Amino acid sequence: MLVEHLSQRPAIDASAHIAPTAVVAGDVAIGPGSRIGFGAVVTAEGGPVLIGANVIVRENAVIRGTGTHPVRIGDHVLVGPGSYLVGCTIGDEVFLATRATVFHGAVIGDGAEVRVNGTVHVNSRLATGATVPIGWVAVGDPAQILAPGRHEEIWAIQEPLDFPNTAFGIARAAPGTTNMAEITRKTADILDRHRDDKIL
């Protein structure tokens, strides 16, 4: 399904193929030879999504550009089933395995791999050719690659990367408090912009 969002229409190369149950919405450009699989969602919610040549986006993956963080995906990239990419830059010949997650402001170098359930955190930079093992976390610039059980070490690097401000434009809540009401209100306003979408 192709969708006009915020007066922007997807631009899809004639040699690319979009599965009939995929959704491509807004300011999205998909390059030659690329394939978007069943149930995948590629949506430009205020910022563009630029997908290069011969990119494979497998089933139920989500790729989302935001007003502050566009998405740029190089050539010959495989995005595995159920993966989530938001506001990130992916180099050429990158392998993102099943359920890989790459957050706002992250940059993944050419030839890198993020294996099953791996995460690249906000504002982190994964070096060319680096590998994030199954379930591990890459965090920092340059990224350190840590096992998920090393939470305190991950948090020490992650906290100054400022996830709430990077992802939502909202200051981190004071200890013992929450800012979820503000986050959900702001997110609802962004999603409400889809009310005027047009299916093409």
Residue whose entry in the numeric block shows the structure tokens 């193929």: 17
Give one word for 168, left, alpha or beta, with left for phi > 0 and alpha for psi -120 to 50.
alpha
For the chain, list the domains and their CATH numbers.
2-199 (2.160.10.10)
In angstroms, rounded to a whole number, what is the distance separating the alpha carbons of residues 55 and 32? 9
Nearest CA to 143 out of 98, 105, 171 is that of 105
Over range 49-57, report the average pLDDT: 98
Each residue's pLDDT tens digit, 131-182: 999 999 999 999 999 999 999 999 999 999 999 999 999 999 998 899 999 9
Q: Is the preceding peptide bond at 142 cis, omega within 30 degrees of 0?
A: yes
Over range 111-140, report the average pLDDT: 98
* DSSP-derived secondary structure letter, 5: B
Q: Is the preceding peptide bond at 32 cis, omega within 30 degrees of 0?
A: no
Query: What value, to the nearest 5°, has the Cα angle with vertex 9 and ends 16 and 194?
Result: 120
The pTM of this model reads 0.95
Give residue 62's pLDDT: 98
Query: What value, to the nearest 5°, has the Cα angle with vertex 195 and ends 189 and 196?
Result: 120
Over range 61-81, report the average pLDDT: 97
Strand partners, 119: 101, 137
Give residue 175's pLDDT: 87
